[in-house]
Amino acid sequence: MRISGQRIQEPAAGTSRRFLFNLSVAAALGLALVLLLFVIGFSARAGSTAPVISAIAPTGTINTHNAAVTAYIGDGGGGVDSASIAVYVDGAAIDGCVITGGNASCNVYGLDNGAHDVVVYASDNHGNVGSGSGSFNVLAPYDIKDDGAGGDCPLIGD
């Protein structure tokens, strides 16, 4: 195929078609650099592992309706993106967590008696996501508030 001005002409039957690409040295070096950076970036992401989340607390049974939920977030080799750390208790995101170094601490208030599940997520600087989970039980008395009306609060069984 030959391009002549505005007119495109098909080659004669039985002739071969060849395409010639002119690539400047600067463009070739630019392309090589882009490919090299892609390979290095891919290798760095593939070589790092996601953060490891451990030491989730509390564990066992606690005797209060308020808890400090804590976790350790270990660097898997790609650095920890502290903005990515998310803590959930019973599926609800906990706001106001304090992140210090590799530790996360979140105050949770008004927990009902019974079992509670904790899940913590964190990403490294390459986008690899790690998670950890734990659970604890609350077995605590409820506060009895004086309504100011006077009188006694009967005990169960009286």
Residue 130 lies in a domain: yes
Query: Are residues 65 and 120 both part of a single domain?
Result: yes
Q: What is the mean pLDDT of residues 41-57?
A: 76
Measured distance CA(94)–CA(101) in Å, rounded? 19
pLDDT (0 to 100) of residue 117: 98
Q: 40 and 53 share a domain?
A: no
Which CATH number do you get for residue 68?
A: 2.60.40.1220
pLDDT at position 43 is 45
Can you tell me the distance from the alpha carbon of 81 to that of 2, in angstroms, rounded to the nearest whole number?
Answer: 55
Domain assignment present for residue 39? The answer is yes
Q: How far is the C-alpha of 82 from the C-alpha of 122, rounded, in Å? A: 8
* Total of domains in the chain: 2
Kindly report the pTM of this predicted structure.
0.63
pLDDT(156) > 70: no
What is the model's pLDDT at position 20? 46
Question: Is 6 a residue whose pLDDT tops 90?
Answer: no
The sign of the CA dihedral 35, 41, 44, 47 is negative
Note whether 23 and 93 are same-domain residues: no
Q: Are residues 66 and 93 in the same domain?
A: yes
Distance CA 95, CA 39 (A): 38
On whether both 35 and 62 belong to a single domain, the answer is: no
CA–CA separation, 138 vs 112, rounded Å?
7
User: 92 with 120, same domain?
Assistant: yes
6 plus 76 within the same structural domain: no
- The more confidently predicted of residues 35 and 158 is 35
77: confidence class by pLDDT, cuts 50, 70, 90: confident
Residues 56 and 130 in one domain: yes
Same domain as 53, residue 128: yes
Same domain, 124 and 55: yes
H or E element in which residue 93 lies: strand 92-93
Shared-domain flag, residues 118 and 55? yes
Q: Do 77 and 100 lie in a common domain?
A: yes
Q: How does pLDDT run across 86-127, given as a tens digit for each residue?
A: 999 999 999 999 999 899 999 999 999 999 999 999 999 999
Report the share of the chain in percent with pLDDT over 70: 61
Q: Which of 17-31, 77-91, 115-129 has the lowest mean pLDDT?
A: 17-31
Mean per-residue pLDDT of the chain: 79
146 is a domain residue? no
In a domain, 149, yes or no: no
Residue ranges making up the domain that contains 29: 2-46
